[in-house]
Copies of this chain bind each other. A is one copy, B any other.
């Protein structure tokens, strides 16, 4: 895939105003694509020029249809907030995510969209009982309604492909971090931890700090999205992660190094929604997509810290 191949192509990004969305739209713009945005508009200054912005709810099917009209590609980044939110109300997750995702797929099919890219969740779709590093053929037994919702949308993509020829790729992304991830949203441990460090506040963590996650820099994720748009090959589901597992305490130690300060830690009880260890095996993405994680972890933390400082100062 070269930038030329995306040049002038129209891409509609659902969830464009969020953390990953902002990074994906910036990468698409850099590759020459015409980027149309759907969803809540970012309150932050954004590093690209959108062609249009559909500020609507995902459940607004007319707005969804309008946003995909004429799109060569659609990128679906919507899917609720964090895994912990919906477990006491899984039906709400279905109504907020699965139902409107089906509306989106239907709209894409009717509009003749060339490919849909769906960002799924490598940290939740597999569940607790898998080998790590986990590859894409592992069993999928999520322990959150969030993960079940992601998995259901993956399956519906397979159905729409089978029945109607709608092309798609699924990226099961590990724990992304980097610029435009805001602290205080319960979304990203790293953004939250850096903020605590900058503010000399204790960091709260769930469990004893031994939970292991696979942290992937968001620019690497955006790169995977761009590659998946023009991917040629039979594989359709790809893990996107760093291949490296870090405990919360490992991450805290790295952040202490980057900010040159030490932390106080407040240990909270563990949450039933958290698997103990999640590390993705990304060899399929390497072989088939030509993608691999490229950004050094400490360098990425440094970038994240610098962005957070500039964001807080703005």
> Which A residues are closer than 8 A to B by beta carbons?
87, 90-91, 94-95, 98-99, 102-103, 127, 137, 139-145, 148, 151-152, 155-156, 158-159, 162-163, 272-273
Contacts and interface: CB of A to CB of B under 8 A. Distances in A.
A112 to B, nearest CB: 17
A269 to B, nearest CB: 15
Interface of A is mostly: helix
A91 B87 contact: no
Contacts of A139: 137
Contacts of A127: 158
Given A99-B94, A103-B91, A159 B142 contact: yes
Contacts of A91: 99, 102-103
Contacts of A152: 148, 152, 155
A179 B160 CA distance: 36
B90 A159 contact: yes
Nearest to A87: B163
Contacts of A156: 90, 145, 148
A163 B103 CA distance: 30
A98 B94 contact: yes
Contacts of A90: 102, 156, 159
A159 B145 contact: yes
Nearest to A91: B102
Given A95-B99, A142-B155, 12 more contacts: A90-B102, A90-B159, A94-B98, A94-B99, A141-B155, A141-B158, A142-B159, A143-B159, A143-B163, A145-B159, A148-B155, A162-B272
Contacts of A145: 156, 159
A293 B89 CA distance: 39
A159 B94 contact: no
Contacts of A141: 155, 158
Contacts of A140: 140, 155
A9 to B, nearest CB: 28
